[in-house]
Amino acid sequence: QVQLEQSGSELKKPGASVKVSCKASGFTFRNYVMNWVRQAPGQGLEWMGWINTNTGNPTYAQGFTGRFGFSLDTSVSTAYLQISSLKAEDTAVYYCARFHCSGGSCYLDYWGQGTRVTVSS
Amino acid sequence: SSELTQDPAVSVALGQTVIITCQGDSLRTYYASWYQQKPGQAPVLVLYGRNNRPSGIPDRFSGSSSGNTASLTITGAQAEDEGDYYCDSRDTSGNHGRVFGGGTKLTVL
């Protein structure tokens, strides 16, 4: 069955970096685009961007350029989100999600369990 | 980026029907998809396309669309349907990625 297993919670100090992993199983990793979604405490879902698992080409939403980076290790079917120069406002749960298109519609059909990143001094 | 607008909160009596809406210009061209999120859990896809439910989603969930508005209907709401509901669709500006609505908190009374 399709699974997206994310790495565990992180507690970081302001200015540090963090790398969140999302390991895929149960499907052919390179056949799907992987998305990242942020949810700040008590807030809604915010699309951060996606990465093409064939080309490695990332696309970032407005507000997620510069300090945010998406990467892959296709040998282990894993996508990564790295955030540098962490700020308190980066405190959130970060989700990876698989992007699927069929029959003229596109959607995020499977989600990781989420990784909580807390930035605090 | 383009925007999707949802009512912040909706309530429904147990067993009754509730409609949750999502408005945005992109919905005139692209389908919305709908996600249910319960406290402390990851979102779950409940509807996509014209009116399609993933395996395991009860048939009391249905969808429709007209003009710039997509709707999620729960017919005979159950206590376990309580949670936050988000729509998403294609962002028709900029990088043509995805955009989420602000979410609707559904309370089952």
A62's tokens: 């407005």
Output the pLDDT for position A61: 94
Q: Checking DSSP bridges between strand A105-111 and strand A115-119, what pairing results, if any?
A: unpaired
- Interface contact B98, partner A, CB < 8 A: yes
Question: Is the pLDDT reported for residue B76 higher than 70?
Answer: yes
* Per-position pLDDT tens, chain A of length 121: 999 999 999 999 999 999 999 999 999 999 999 999 999 999 999 999 999 999 999 999 999 999 999 999 999 999 999 999 999 999 999 999 999 998 889 999 999 999 999 999 9
- Interface contact B85, partner A, CB < 8 A: no
Q: Regarding predicted confidence, which is higher, B63 or A103?
A: B63
Distance CA A21, CA A77 (A): 10
Q: What is the DSSP letter of B91?
A: -
Question: Is the pLDDT reported for residue B28 higher than 80?
Answer: yes
Q: List all residues 6 or more positions away from A60 whose beta carbon is below 8 Å from its beta carbon.
A: A48, A49, A68, A70, B95
Output the pLDDT for position B1: 66
3-state secondary structure A13-80: CCCCCEEEEEEEECCCHHHCEEEEEEECCCCCCEEEEEEECCCCCEEECCCCCCCEEEEEEHHHCEEE
- Interface contact B5, partner A, CB < 8 A: no
Establish, for the pair of chains A and B, how many residue pairs have beta carbons separated by less than 8 Å.
79
Query: Using a CB-CB distance cutoff of 8 angstroms, which residues of chain A are in contact with residue B102?
Result: 44
Query: Using a CB-CB distance cutoff of 8 angstroms, which residues of chain A are in contact with residue B99?
Result: 47
Output the pLDDT for position A1: 95
Output the pLDDT for position A96: 98
Output the pLDDT for position A121: 95
Question: Is the pLDDT reported for residue B66 higher than 90?
Answer: yes
Averaged pLDDT, B81-92: 96
